[in-house]
Amino acid sequence: MINKIIATINEGRSFLITSHVKLDGDALGSELAIYCMLKNIRKKALIYNEDDTPGHYAFLPAAGKIVHTLDNISQFDVAFVLDCSELERVGDKAQEIGKIKKIINIDHHISNNGFSPLKLWDGRASSTGELIFCLFEQMKCKLTPDICTNLYAAILTDTGGFRYANTTKDTLWAAGKLVAGGADPQWISENIYENDPPAKIKLLKKALETLSLDLPNQIGSLVVTRSALRETGASYEHTEGLVEIPRSVKGIAVSILYTQLEDNSYKLSMRSKGNFDVEKIAKKFGGGGHANAAACRIKGNIETIKKDILKAINEAR
Amino acid sequence: MINKIIATINEGRSFLITSHVKLDGDALGSELAIYCMLKNIRKKALIYNEDDTPGHYAFLPAAGKIVHTLDNISQFDVAFVLDCSELERVGDKAQEIGKIKKIINIDHHISNNGFSPLKLWDGRASSTGELIFCLFEQMKCKLTPDICTNLYAAILTDTGGFRYANTTKDTLWAAGKLVAGGADPQWISENIYENDPPAKIKLLKKALETLSLDLPNQIGSLVVTRSALRETGASYEHTEGLVEIPRSVKGIAVSILYTQLEDNSYKLSMRSKGNFDVEKIAKKFGGGGHANAAACRIKGNIETIKKDILKAINEAR
């Protein structure tokens, strides 16, 4: 399969690169690494994302090249659909992109629905970035500092800073090779994790007022309301990382961040410790993710949602 | 030199293992890895620390073997003094320990004063744990899961979770080999970073009320008073990690946590981003550490101390 993908890359003329809505570090780092590789071998390439690039990923090499409108899809003969378990994850343009002749899907989500026959998929890989590292090794592709920086960022963020269960010896080995090739661990970590506006700390302070630690049920949670965002001047992307706070408490197995989207609608970001599988919970409510990190959206008032989630968690134990 | 150390290990009969006061993950992981190695080759060994083991390191293999009293020092023919730049760092027993016939000093502090002729020292190594990993490779010593877990914890904590500038390709490769040998990245990270009592989050909430962000001078700080500790039920060790909060803000180059020790006495934990060297600042006030992480103690009232530190930082730019 990997040889078929390499042949498709070599034969292709014009490439579309895309990933899922609600962009994360693995989606962006993977896209940008593929883009840099294609440019290095003098191919035509364009990165299209429905959503804007979150500010703390704007430093990634070539991030300025990403576009958010897509016309004339017929110009592309190959599409890379990265870090997507289903084609629909790319957003409103999914159907049009689906018409591109060859689609290469590189992904590590266990829930991948096999939408493309041409795929590099491994549910045990830490990240799509790690799979692309393996592809590039196989291709004997030159690992430039730009490629290394993008792939390092992809791996770093999808392993929660090498902390999740998906961190294997191969993940760390790949990270070491990327550092050897020019990725700077400190600079990348600082840009991603230590580059927050003061409003983010204000939001943290505000969110801590809602902290709930249900030790008998091992569930910790925080709530970010729309008024909390308004009052602190923070935006939706600044909620990232807040879910790690209740997770840090001894005896908490599941941590949930409830972010209010509309009056009666919440996004739930869930993280778990040990063997508890939050992907199962997210799936029950139409969401998805990984065993230790998953998300979904639920309509209703916060108290009812909390009760429903408690029930779902207790049923899954 | 490394061969001399290996010969000393092979010839030695009874080993004392110790490290610095105010124990951290590198000190403990290093001690315990050396202990496990010596036990595997059937040597007599004892770990002595002046200070108690912080709760979040109690899970480390063999941590229960550490003792805090030391009699009959004449029974030891070799002492491992680990992660210490000076013999005095081991605490009140330094002079007595200094009388042991052979002292092996393994350390990575740039300020190492060369107190022992028998030393494995590299100021560029991420951690003492990484140097011990190299020593064990050279010794062709069996890397048991217990040894791997202890060395992984040492490297993880002294690189701030692979985020500081001391994280090199060799650091990540060593970490990968330790995972291959049985270290579990998730389990270790959870035990160290996600095993806090609820009082620690209360302390975080309280400390955030003191947040100061001096963006023109790029200095961020938090203060933990004795009354804050009392009110939240937190203890001194729960201040760990708080210094990372101001560091996470865009434009902050130096982050300082002021922890009140006595009425007019503070411990300063400093972290920096990029090239700013906080070790220089700490040294000025009789402390020490590394370029991106250092500490010192200063007497005086908090406002005067803050002014003195601002002056010292501006002079060092």
Mean pLDDT in residue range B189-203: 93
Return mean pLDDT, chain B: 95
User: Is residue B317's pLDDT more than 90?
Assistant: no
For A2-193, CATH number out of 3.90.1640.10, 3.40.1260.10, 1.10.10.10, 3.40.5.10 equals 3.90.1640.10
pLDDT (tens digit per residue) in B113-170: 999 999 999 999 999 999 999 999 999 999 999 999 999 999 999 999 999 889 999 9
User: Is residue A292's pLDDT more than 90?
Assistant: no
Give Cα separations from B167 to A126, A164, B179, B241 (angstroms).
20, 19, 17, 18
Q: How confident is the model at residue B218 (pLDDT cuts 50, 70, 90)?
A: very high
**Residue among A223, A30, A177 nearest A109 (CA):** A30
Task: Tell me which H or E stretch contains B265.
Answer: strand B265-272
* Contact check, Cβ <8 Å, B198/A180: no
Dist. CA B276–CA A298, nearest whole Å:
46
Mapping DSSP to helix (H, G, I), strand (E, B) and coil, where does residue B219 land? Answer: strand
pTM attached to this predicted model: 0.91
Which residues of B are less than 8 Å from A168 in CB distance? 179
ipTM value for the complex? 0.90
Q: How many helices (H) does chain B have, and how many strands (E)?
A: 12, 11
Among A179, A211, A247, select the one facing B169 at the smallest CB separation. A179
Task: Using an 8 Å CB-CB cutoff, list residues of chain B that contact chain A.
Answer: 161-165, 167-173, 175-177, 179-180, 185-186, 189-190, 193-198, 200-201, 204-205, 208-209, 211, 213, 245-250, 252, 273-274, 292
* Contact check, Cβ <8 Å, A201/B167: no
Residue A303 CA to its chain's centroid (Å): 28
| Cβ neighbours around A78 below 10 Å, total | 23
The confidence score (pLDDT) of residue A110 equals 86
Dist. CA B219–CA B70, nearest whole Å:
43
Strands B78-82 and B102-107: parallel
The confidence score (pLDDT) of residue A158 equals 94
Which residues of A are less than 8 Å from B246 in CB distance? 201
> Percent helix, strand, coil in chain B (nearest 5)?
45, 20, 35
Among A177, A185, A197, select the one facing B163 at the smallest CB separation. A185
The confidence score (pLDDT) of residue A221 equals 98
pLDDT (tens digit per residue) in A85-131: 999 999 999 999 999 999 999 999 988 999 999 999 999 999 999 99
pLDDT (tens digit per residue) in A191-215: 999 999 999 999 999 999 999 999 9
At A54, the amino acid letter reads P
Dist. CA B205–CA B238, nearest whole Å:
12
Task: Count A/B contacts: CB-CB distance under 8 Å.
Answer: 136
Q: How confident is the model at residue B91 (pLDDT cuts 50, 70, 90)?
A: very high
Which residues of B are less than 8 Å from A204 in CB distance? 208, 245
Assess whether the region A2-193 and the region A198-316 belong to the same CATH fold: no
CA distance, residue B172 to nearest chain A CA (Å): 5
Residue-range domain boundaries for chain B: 2-193, 198-316
Strands B293-299 and B288-290: antiparallel
The confidence score (pLDDT) of residue A275 equals 86
The owner of tokens 């975080």 is B204
Interface test with B, best of A178, A186, A254 (most B CBs within 10 A): A186
pLDDT (tens digit per residue) in B167-180: 999 999 999 999 99
* Contact check, Cβ <8 Å, A213/B198: yes
User: Is residue A290's pLDDT more than 90?
Assistant: no
Which CATH number does B198-316 carry?
3.10.310.30
At CB < 8 A and 24+ separation, what contacts does A72-77 make?
Answer: A73/A16, A73/A97, A73/A99, A73/A100, A75/A14, A76/A14, A76/A15, A76/A16, A76/A46, A76/A100, A77/A12, A77/A13, A77/A14, A77/A15, A77/A101, A77/A102
CA distance, residue A13 to nearest chain B CA (Å): 35
